[in-house]
C-alpha cells in the first residue's frame, strides 16, 4: 500500500468513527434546508421573481460544504500537531504532497457526498428545487470551493492549538460569512452595500457559482469569475498556510 493510500485510509477511518461529527456534517445543512425551506415554501424573491428555494438550497449547500472543509481540516491539523503525530510523519520518508493530498481527497469526497445528499433532499416535492441542464457545471465550482475552504482550514488549524480555539476561530469566520454571502438570505434581496462587501468573501463565489449552475441563470463569464475568485482565495490562503506551517507546538 502506498503512503498516500495508507494516509487516506487512516483519515477515512478516523472520520467515520467520529459519529458526532459525521452526523452534524451531513445533518446540519439538511436541518437548515428544512427550516428555511418550509418557512419560505412556495415563495418567490420579489427582486427577481425566482423561487426562494433556488437561492436557499445552493446557499445552504455551499455554506455546509465550506464549513465541513474548514472544520475538518483545521481539527485534523491541530490534533495531529498536538498529538505530535506530525513529527512522526515528518520522520518517515513520506512526501508532503502525499500527506496533503490524502487529506484533500477526504475533504473532496465528504463535500461531494454532502452535496449529492443535500440536492436529492432538496429535489423532493416538499421543497421543490428544480435543476437546470447546466447542473454539471456546479461540479468544478464545488471542487474549487472545497479546495479554497480546505486551505482556509489549514490556516485555522495552524493558528489554533486547542479544539476550543479551532471552533472559536472557524465559527468566527464561517457564521458571519454565511450571512454576508447570501447563504441564508438571497443577496438579491439585500442592500447594495452588503452585496458589494460580499465580494471579498470566498463563500460568495462558491454560492454564486453553485446557484448559477443549478438554476441555469449564470452565463459562462459569470461562472468563470466565480471559479477565478475561488482560485484566487486558494492561492492567497495557500501561501499563508505554507508560510505559517509548523510541525510541532514546541518551540
User: Nearest distance from residue 243's CB to other proteins, in Å?
Assistant: 17
Is residue 20 within the footprint of other proteins (CB under 8 A)? Answer: no
Which one, of 148, 170, 63, 167, lies nearest residue 104 by Cα? 148
Query: Does residue 219 bind other proteins (CB under 8 A)?
Result: yes
Shortest distance, position 114 Cβ to other proteins, whole Å: 14
Contacting residue, 27, 47, 87, 162, with other proteins by CB under 8 A: 87
Q: Which stretch binds other proteins (CB under 8 A): 1-9, 22-30, 51-59, 155-163?
A: 1-9
* Candidate list 35, 41, 47, 95; residue touching other proteins; CB under 8 A: 95
Other residues' Cβ atoms within 10 Å of the Cβ of residue 162: 12
Q: How far apart are CA 19 and CA 17, in angstroms?
A: 6
Interface residue with other proteins among 90, 97, 228, 244 (CB under 8 A) is: 90
Q: Which stretch binds other proteins (CB under 8 A): 48-56, 146-154, 204-212, 216-224?
A: 216-224
Out of 31, 88, 139, 239, the residue judged to bind other proteins by CB under 8 A = 88
- Residue 44 near other proteins by CB under 8 A: no
Is there binding between residue 129 and other proteins (CB under 8 A)? Answer: no
Q: Which of 24, 79, 165, 195 binds other proteins (CB under 8 A)?
A: 79
Residues that bind other proteins (CB under 8 A): 1-3, 5-10, 12-14, 17-18, 79, 82-85, 87-95, 109, 120, 123, 131-136, 216, 219-220, 247-248, 251
Amino acid at each position: 500500500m502506498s503512503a498516500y493510500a495508507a494516509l487516506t485510509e487512516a483519515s477515512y477511518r478516523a472520520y467515520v468513527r467520529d459519529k458526532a461529527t459525521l452526523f452534524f456534517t451531513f445533518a446540519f445543512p439538511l436541518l437548515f434546508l428544512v427550516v428555511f425551506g418550509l418557512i419560505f415554501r412556495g415563495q418567490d424573491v420579489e427582486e427577481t421573481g425566482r423561487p426562494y428555494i433556488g437561492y436557499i438550497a445552493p446557499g445552504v449547500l455551499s455554506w455546509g460544504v465550506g464549513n465541513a472543509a474548514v472544520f475538518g481540516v483545521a481539527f485534523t491539523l491541530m490534533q495531529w500537531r498536538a498529538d505530535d503525530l506530525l513529527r512522526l510523519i515528518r520522520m518517515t520518508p513520506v512526501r508532503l504532497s502525499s500527506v496533503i493530498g490524502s487529506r484533500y481527497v477526504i475533504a473532496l469526497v465528504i463535500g461531494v457526498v454532502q452535496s449529492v445528499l443535500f440536492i436529492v433532499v432538496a429535489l423532493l416535492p416538499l421543497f421543490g428545487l428544480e435543476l437546470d441542464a447546466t447542473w454539471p457545471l456546479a461540479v468544478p465550482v464545488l471542487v474549487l470551493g472545497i479546495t479554497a475552504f480546505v486551505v482556509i482550514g489549514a490556516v485555522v488549524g495552524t493558528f489554533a492549538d486547542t479544539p476550543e480555539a479551532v471552533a472559536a476561530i472557524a465559527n468566527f469566520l464561517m457564521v458571519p460569512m454565511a450571512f454576508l454571502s447570501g447563504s441564508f438570505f438571497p443577496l438579491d434581496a439585500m442592500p447594495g452595500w452588503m452585496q458589494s462587501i460580499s465580494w471579498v468573501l470566498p463563500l460568495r463565489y462558491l454560492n454564486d457559482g453553485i446557484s448559477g449552475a443549478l438554476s441555469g441563470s449564470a452565463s459562462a463569464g459569470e461562472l468563470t469569475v466565480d471559479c477565478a475568485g475561488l482560485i484566487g482565495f486558494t492561492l492567497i490562503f495557500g501561501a499563508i498556510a505554507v508560510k505559517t506551517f509548523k510541525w510541532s507546538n514546541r518551540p
